[in-house]
């Protein structure tokens, strides 16, 4: 989850640096076409050191770091080195992390139809940033209860508007606070624990 948090914070920073972010943040709309970004472009803009933290440092990555000490971003690597770094293990890790972000409803994939309906310049935009995520607190379990029965007690819900980096940090702090000491079965009945056991 630490890697998921690092990746989400980076993607939010990347997204908020794109042209048009001011209009997106001022309305914090539900219209998905305003929140589009290219995941591939985001990865290429990622600082090499952060990338190594997110995917886990390998010998191959360490060798590249030693060889290219002045390289700051993945896009600055020569094409061959970039392909060498993005091996099947790394792509698998990134896919897993992106999948967790999707289940947490922090990003979503954009349908091919939506991209086709947009003009040519939007063709490579593959994902959308969610700016209004939420977290449900797991119910406190004071006494042992039958885990096979459904729990209909109301859940405390925390809604967020990710209009600045402080709000992103608050989201992750709240998630950690709500789930760090929660009962496993209770966590599986509240969002996002209900869709992401990694939480």
Q: Following DSSP, what letter does each residue of 162-182 receive, concatenated?
A: -SSHHHHHHHHHHHHHHHTT-
DSSP state of 47: B
Q: What pLDDT sits at residue 95?
A: 94
pLDDT tens, residue by residue, 133-187: 999 999 876 544 555 555 566 678 999 999 999 999 999 999 999 998 888 888 8
Q: Which residues of the chain have pLDDT under 50?
A: 119-120, 143-144
Q: Which two tokens stand for residue 120?
A: 């040519």
Measured distance CA(62)–CA(65) in Å, rounded? 5
The beta strand positions in the chain, using DSSP E, are 36-37, 107-109, 127-129, 134-136, 157-159
Q: Residue 124: its pLDDT value, please?
A: 64
Q: What pLDDT score was predicted for residue 143?
A: 46
The whole-model pTM stands at 0.82
Domain ranges of the chain: 1-129, 131-198
33: closest CA among 113, 93, 97, 100?
A: 113
Helices (H) and strands (E) in the chain, counts: 10, 5
Enter the tokens of residue 74.
């993945």
Tell me, which fold does domain 1-129 have in CATH? Arc Repressor Mutant, subunit A (1.10.10)
pLDDT at 132: 94
Phi, psi values for residue 69, rounded to 5°: -65, -30
């Amino acid at each position: 989850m630490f890697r998921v948090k690092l990746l989400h914070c980076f993607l939010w920073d990347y997204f908020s640096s794109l042209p048009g972010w001011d209009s997106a943040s001022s309305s914090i709309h539900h219209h998905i076409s305003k929140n589009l970004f290219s995941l591939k472009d985001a990865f290429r803009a990622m600082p090499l050191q952060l990338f190594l933290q997110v995917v886990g440092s390998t010998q191959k990555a360490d060798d590249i770091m030693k060889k290219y000490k002045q390289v700051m971003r993945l896009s600055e690597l020569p094409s061959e080195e970039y392909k060498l770094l993005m091996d099947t293990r790394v792509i698998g890790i990134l896919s897993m992390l992106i999948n967790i972000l999707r289940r947490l409803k922090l990003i979503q994939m954009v349908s091919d139809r939506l991209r086709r309906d947009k003009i040519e310049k939007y063709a490579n935009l593959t994902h959308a940033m969610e700016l209004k995520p939420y977290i449900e607190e797991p119910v406190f379990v004071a006494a042992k209860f039958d885990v096979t029965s459904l729990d209909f007690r109301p859940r405390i819900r925390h809604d967020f508007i990710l209009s600045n980096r402080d709000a992103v940090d608050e989201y992750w702090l709240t998630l950690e606070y709500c789930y760090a000491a929660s009962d496993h079965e209770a966590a599986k009945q509240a969002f996002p624990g209900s869709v992401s056991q990694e939480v």
